[in-house]
Structure 1
Amino acid sequence: MTHARNAAMALVALLLVVAGAWSSWGTAQHVLLSKGREHGTLTVTGCNEEMCSGRYVPASPPSQHTTLSIAHSVAAGKGQKVPVVVKPGTEEAVRAGWAGGFHAWVPLGGALLLAALVIGGGLRMTRTAWSVAAAGGVLLLGTFFAL
């Protein structure tokens, strides 16, 4: 019975981490694998509850985009200039650099914190749980200070 409980808890912890990584990869791929993608600077002109938009200036002149939108959580406010990578085939951008990289992995950081609770409480592996929680905390704190 103990082995079945441990296997179930390990499966839940693994599922949490995989789901966090999968959720993060949708944005992180554009930041981490940005070679060959369109780069530039977005000057924020206005925001609503979810998105900010603004004037886009490409790093290399031939571009079909003049305005782009970006998630409100990575654009601090009106008038701010943000380095961005354009998502291919869309009018949406993601923040580039360290700040964008940290922000892209926020779902994984949260998943690591949740998995640490399962590892510590369900599997009784406290040292491993503290290590996993520390990794998640570093990701979330890094994002807080980078943005």
Structure 2
Amino acid sequence: MKRNSSGRMLDHGRRVSMVLVALLLLVAGVRSSWGTAQHVLLSKGREHGTLTVASCGEKTCTGPFDPDGAGTARTGLTIERSVAVDKGAKLPVVVKPGTDEVVRTGWPGALHAWLPFGGALLLAACVIGGGLRMPRTAWATAAAGGALLVSAFFAL
């Protein structure tokens, strides 16, 4: 049976809207990850050191900061609380410029920073598979998101 032009237009409109939703999810994931990831990935010229976790609150942990190389040791720097952080843990960190916040560096820090993007990949996979009817691409997107989340879990 031959489709009429209005049926084709609805199909194209559905496809375009699903592509836009998938792109919106991915852009939102990158944007929310980039706030932390930029300090981990582009850390050259920033103050590096080690944070010893002294105490943890509901959302953040604090402790003394011991800089690598030249710099002054400071107390009261905060880091976002993670399930894997225990009191007394020594974490390699980089200081966010102009703040008293630090971000974990290395593979664990990079993977933790990109967690929102991993979630966005999983959500976009549902849109790609269901809305765009592209199951292979959806499985690949979901596998990439799942691998990011699982590797961050094991790295922390």
**TM-score, normalised via structure 2 length:** 0.91
Mapped partners of 1:63, 1:121: distance in 2 = 54
Give the C-alpha shift of residue 75 in structure 1.
Answer: 5.6
Matching of residue 97 in structure 1 with residue 106 in structure 2: yes
Number of the residue aligned with 2:86: 77
Mapped partners of 2:16, 2:94: distance in 1 = 41
- Structure 2's unaligned 5+ residue stretches are 1-9
Whichever residue aligns with residue 100 of structure 1, its letter is G
Matching of residue 40 in structure 1 with residue 49 in structure 2: yes
Q: How many residues align?
A: 147
Q: CA RMSD in A?
A: 1.1
Number of the residue aligned with 1:11: 20
- Structure 1's unaligned 5+ residue stretches are none
CA contact (8 A) 2:65 2:77 kept: yes
Quick one: structure 1 residues 30 and 74, their matched pair in 2 at CA, closer, same or farther if it must change by over 3 Å?
farther
Mapped partners of 2:128, 2:96: distance in 1 = 36
Give the C-alpha shift of residue 16 in structure 1.
Answer: 0.1
Correspondence list, 1:57-136, <5 A = 57-63=66-72, 65-73=74-82, 76-136=85-145
Larger Rg: 2
Mapped partners of 1:75, 1:30: distance in 2 = 20
**TM-score, normalised via structure 1 length:** 0.97
Quick one: structure 1 residues 44 and 64, their matched pair in 2 at CA, closer, same or farther if it must change by over 3 Å?
closer
